[in-house]
Amino acid sequence: MSETTPTTRTDCAFCTMDEDAIIARAATCYAISSSQRPEGSTIIIPLAHREAPWDLSAREWTDLNGLLAQLKDGIDREHHPDGWNVGWNVGRVGGQTVPHAHCHLIPRYRDEPYAGRGVRWWFKQEENRRART
């Protein structure tokens, strides 16, 4: 795949993102505000249609890392979070609702009801144990 002409899909919400929604960009990726809580949450998306993070090129990883740092600094200044979650959902069972790779940058605040519970907390709960066959 070419870095200068990314492969896109007309049926993908992230491949056809409205330019007005973009809050930051790099050569191979862009960022949007997330409509999800908590305040300041953002999503970083490669321009090329990639379904999983391991499909990203080295250049895309570099650009994504640069946007992560830039966005984190801006969110720190504006919202003053107490912690962070950074992550990817991959595949339907993994919680991915748009089949285009995207990285969530989620500021966390000490006054949240679930403060202190990281991304793996939910998986450690007894009610999430797989049924034995």
pLDDT tens per residue, range 49-74: 999 999 999 999 999 999 999 999 99
Residue 2's pLDDT is what?
41
Average pLDDT, the chain: 91
Residue 38's pLDDT is what?
85
Q: How confident is the model at residue 78 (pLDDT cuts 50, 70, 90)?
A: very high
User: What does 52-121 look like in DSSP terms, one character per residue?
Assistant: SGGG--HHHHHHHHHHHHHHHHHHHHHH--SEEEEEE--STTTT-SSSS--EEEEEE-TTSTTTT--TTG
Contact 67, 86 (CB under 8 A): no
pTM of the model: 0.88
Q: Is residue 7 over pLDDT 80?
A: yes
- Domains of the chain in sequence order: 19-114 (3.30.428.10)
